[in-house]
Amino acid sequence: MKTRKIGNLEVSAIGLGCMGMSHAYGEATNMSEATDLLRKAAEIGYTFFDTAEVYGTPDNPHHNEELLGEALKPIRDKVMIATKFGLSFNTKSGQIPYPLIADSRPQTIRQSIEGSLRRLQTDHIDLYYQHQQDPNVPVEDVAGLMGDLIKEGKILGWGLSEVDEATIRRAHSVTPVTAIQNRYSMMARWYENLFPVLEELGIGFVAFSPLANGFLSDRYNANSTFDKSTDYRASMPQFQAESYQENQKLLELIRNIADDRNTTPAQISLAWMLAQEPWIVPIPGTRKVTRLEENAGAASVELTPQEIETINRQLNNIPMSKVFGQKN
């Protein structure tokens, strides 16, 4: 697969978001199946694997990191691993999705990095993100500690998730930021206003939910159902029955381009994103080898500037439902 530079790291143009193997998309995948999938991903050409200490199950809150640690241990020198700190779930709330609890105190981060290193069976983490801003800890303090961890060799780079320009500049002034990980898709474009500052500062953009939680794969319809107790899609606005009609023009747009190109809607959605900037890396997730191969194939789909202009113009004007993560 082609590669891209995000900050000081070189990674596969499409990364693999691993959260869904353990959390939020139904019951966790068993270790054997997930290990086979992760190693197959590496064979296909994925070199960038994304996880977090909080991605787990009620029985094993660190399931995902443990899974990656075991699966990637034999090929650790050939892959980049990103994980995250500073967040936990309130699993006792009775709410789905679980409410979030931020904690980026220095002592918590120190405990987190040691736990992640142990579970990932590695001596360093390639990219270490603050998962969510902690209102009680200035981002400058977090950035300073990240600088210490880089000097100690425990991380190669660091990043922030779902932040604004002011926060990026404050953090970067203390310890250069490698990458920002924000939600981004054809349905979620509100962080495009950060592109100029990322270009200016040489920071990469890692896009999570690049297919709008799978909606833009065009493999679901108004009759699709999800387990309310384990699958967040059951409550996501784009997967409600009435939303399919609201999003009909969007789906037709990507279907038509995919048909013309003999590709798939998912590949067009990812290729569109790759064409926006050379330092954007989407990290779609999946549990299926066929989807791994399909998503990887998007790195070879090159849309023309005219096609991108047409898509962007239509995205600015066609109606869409709300999408999970939308603030207004």
Active-site annotation, residues? 55
Of 236, 243, 209, the C-alpha closest to 319 is 243
CA distances from 312 to 132, 167, 187, 250 (A): 29, 28, 11, 11
CA distance 52 to 229: 21
Of 140, 150, 155, 171, the C-alpha closest to 82 is 155
Please list, in sequence order, all residues whose beta carbon lies within 8 angstroms of the beta carbon of residue 237, skipping any fewer than 6 positions away. 243, 321, 322, 323, 324, 326
- Burial (CB count <10 Å: 0-12, 13-18, 19+), residue 177: buried
The number of beta carbons lying within 10 Å of the beta carbon of residue 246 is: 15
Please list, in sequence order, all residues whose beta carbon lies within 8 angstroms of the beta carbon of residue 317, skipping any fewer than 6 positions away. none
The number of beta carbons lying within 10 Å of the beta carbon of residue 91 is: 13
Of 243, 154, 270, 159, the C-alpha closest to 204 is 159
The number of beta carbons lying within 10 Å of the beta carbon of residue 140 is: 13
CA distance 75 to 13: 19
Under a CB-based contact definition with an 8 Å cutoff, are residues 266 and 236 in contact?
no
What letter would DSSP give residue 76? G
The number of beta carbons lying within 10 Å of the beta carbon of residue 44 is: 17
What's the start-to-end Cα distance of the chain, in Å? Answer: 37
